[in-house]
Each structure stands twice: as C-alpha cells, then as structure tokens.
C-alpha cells in the first residue's frame, strides 16, 4: 500500500497542535489540506519501512486517540529515524502512560523496560528505526521527562529509562521567540559546546527560523540542541534544504506546500563545535497524529 493511499485530509474539527501539544491559531482554514501525518507516511515509504511501522502508528492511535502523539522525523548521519512523543500534563493522574503505550504496541515491539508509574512525568518518548519496526530488535530505552521547578522559564529534565536503571539525559528551556530572544541567545552561549567568540550565535539562532513562536534550548551530555516551534511551510522548506534532507522529502513538501500551509511546524537540530566549526549531529521536524 503506497503512502499516498493512506494520506489523511484535514477537517474543520482538527485541533492545531505543536510538538508540545500546545494549541496554536492555524494560518488559514484547514479543510482539505494535508494532515501532518502525511509527512510521516511519506518518510516511511521513502525509507522502505516494514509494513509493521504503519501498524505501530495505528495501534498507538487506537489506544490513546487521535492527535495525542507527536512524531519527529530525524536525519542522523544521512539516515532517517523517528521518535514518537506522548504528553499528559496531569502527571500522576495521567491517562496516557508509558505502560499503556508499551502495551498497545506489544504485538509489534518487545520492550522489557518497566517504568515507575508513580514518577511525576508529563511526557515520554520512544525511538523508532527500520530494525525496530521490522521486529529485528527490542525497544531498550524510554525517554521520560519531568518538570524543572525553580527555573525562571518553562523547563524540563529528560531521563533515559532502561532495564538497568535510570540516567540523566538533558535539560530543556523554552523562550518566547519575540520577547526572550536575548535570553535564548544567552542560554546558547552559556555552554561548553559552543564558543560565541569564535562563531556568531546566529549560526544557531538561524535568522530565517527564529521568526517563530518559541525557541527551546537543550543542554545534552555531549552537545546542545535548539528547536524552533511555530515555523510556516516556507521556513520548513528552508530548514530541510539547509540541513540537507533527501531531495525527495524537500520536493514533497515543496510540491504540496499549498496543502500544508494551514499548519505551523516545529524543527530542531543537535550541534556542537568541533575544531572551530559547527557540527550538526542530528536534526528533526515534527508533526502530530
């Protein structure tokens, strides 16, 4: 079954949600435009993903409902990979739990991770690649996110949950792109992985992308990351070209821009300085199904 035979079209009842499942005002009426899931389906086909990958998507949506899952399409060392993100801001009173999602995908994915459901997490994510989708490897880590009380901006902390225990992964900080641009720049420059005396901060706070809603800066163990939330389809195309995504992905978005221009998108990239140059280690763009 080709991806286009699975494509979904927006209705007036579709919520407009970003990668945190926060609502935004759509750029125009959504009727008959593409849902963002079509980007995911197209990327699956491009990568030759096993049919089970589509089954995983269906199983998740059947279990927790539509528009409850954020997907990230990643480019890592020239190869596509994916991550699914789940939010429930009720925390300990949550309905969307790690256990519930793992149970939903159990027919497709084996995972021996046993989460602590009393932890006050509000978000978690699962990595997906071709090997996992085909059933050739188990899921061995769940990324769990908790709040960061005491931060002066919206912030979170991520942990990797494995069978052997829990380890710290990274810290996230959210800034309003219009009002707090200088604070975002200050956060980027306060890092062991970036030297603003050797490289302008605009290399990270890309001028073409910072016309957005929020900017998130993440400090990870070996590098940093920046996300731009609320970019339009023309900015998405610029991002895909800038980060050297496969031409078939760029041309797909460009060809269907008029069907995607009711949406706002979220994009980001992981980076560090190596030998005085900026190295982009991973990048991603996001949608909801």
Task: Determine the pLDDT at residue 32.
Answer: 86
Alpha helices in 29-165 (DSSP H): 37-47, 51-64, 98-104, 130-133
Residue 122 lies in domain: 3-288
Encoded tokens for 84:
């699914």
Backbone angles phi, psi at 159, to 5 degrees: -125, 150
Cβ pair 89, 135 in contact under 8 A: no
Task: Determine the pLDDT at residue 129.
Answer: 97
Task: Determine the pLDDT at residue 91.
Answer: 97
User: Which residue, among 217, 198, 277, 210, has the nearest Cα to 239 in the 3D structure?
Assistant: 210
Task: Determine the pLDDT at residue 156.
Answer: 97
Q: Backbone dihedral region of 48: left (phi > 0), alpha (psi from -120 to 50 degrees) or beta?
A: left
Give the other-Cβ count within 10 Å of 215's Cβ: 28
CA–CA separation, 268 and 173 (whole Å): 14
| Mean pLDDT of successive 10-residue stretches along the chain, which has 289 residues | 91 96 93 96 97 98 98 97 98 97 98 96 98 97 97 96 97 98 98 96 97 98 98 98 98 98 98 96 98
Cβ pair 222, 262 in contact under 8 A: no
Task: Determine the pLDDT at residue 27.
Answer: 82
CA–CA separation, 79 and 119 (whole Å): 34
List CB contacts of 277: < 8 A, sequence separation 6 or more.
Answer: none
Cβ pair 266, 236 in contact under 8 A: no
Helix axes 247-255, 233-242, angle to 10 degrees: 170
CA–CA separation, 18 and 33 (whole Å): 17
List CB contacts of 268: < 8 A, sequence separation 6 or more.
Answer: 216, 225, 226, 227, 228, 283, 284, 286
First to last CA, the chain: 19
Cβ pair 51, 32 in contact under 8 A: no
- Burial string for 170-185 (b: 16+ CB within 10 Å, else e) reads bebbbbebeebeebbb
What's the structural domain count of the chain? 1
User: Which residue, among 63, 76, 58, has the nearest Cα to 133 in the 3D structure?
Assistant: 58
Give the other-Cβ count within 10 Å of 272's Cβ: 17
Sign of CA dihedral 111, 113, 114, 118: negative
């Amino acid at each position: 079954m080709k991806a286009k035979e699975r494509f979904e079209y927006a209705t007036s009842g579709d919520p407009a949600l970003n990668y945190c499942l926060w609502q935004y005002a759509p750029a125009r009426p959504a009727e008959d435009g593409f849902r963002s899931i079509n980007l995911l389906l197209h990327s699956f086909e491009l990568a030759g993903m096993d049919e089970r990958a589509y089954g995983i998507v269906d199983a998740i949506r059947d279990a927790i409902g539509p528009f409850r899952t954020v997907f990230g399409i990643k480019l890592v060392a020239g190869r596509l990979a994916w991550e699914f993100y789940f939010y429930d801001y009720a925390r300990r009173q949550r309905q969307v739990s790690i256990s519930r999602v793992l149970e939903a995908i159990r027919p497709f994915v084996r995972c021996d991770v046993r989460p602590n459901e009393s932890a006050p997490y509000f978000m978690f994510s699962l990595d997906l690649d071709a090997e996992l989708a085909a059933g050739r490897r188990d899921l061995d880590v769940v990324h769990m996110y908790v709040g960061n009380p005491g931060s002066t901006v919206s912030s979170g902390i991520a942990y990797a949950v494995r069978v052997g225990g829990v380890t710290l992964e990274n810290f996230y900080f959210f800034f309003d792109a219009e009002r707090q641009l200088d604070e975002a720049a200050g956060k980027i420059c306060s890092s062991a992985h970036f030297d603003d005396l050797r490289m302008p901060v605009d290399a990270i706070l890309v001028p073409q992308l910072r016309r957005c809603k929020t900017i998130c800066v993440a400090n990870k163990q070996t590098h940093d990351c920046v996300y731009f939330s609320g970019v339009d389809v023309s900015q998405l195309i610029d991002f895909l070209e800038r980060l050297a995504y496969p031409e078939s992905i760029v041309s797909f978005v460009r060809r269907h821009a008029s069907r995607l221009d009711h949406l706002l998108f979220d994009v980001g990239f992981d980076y560090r300085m190596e030998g005085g140059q900026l190295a982009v280690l991973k990048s991603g763009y996001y949608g909801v199904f």
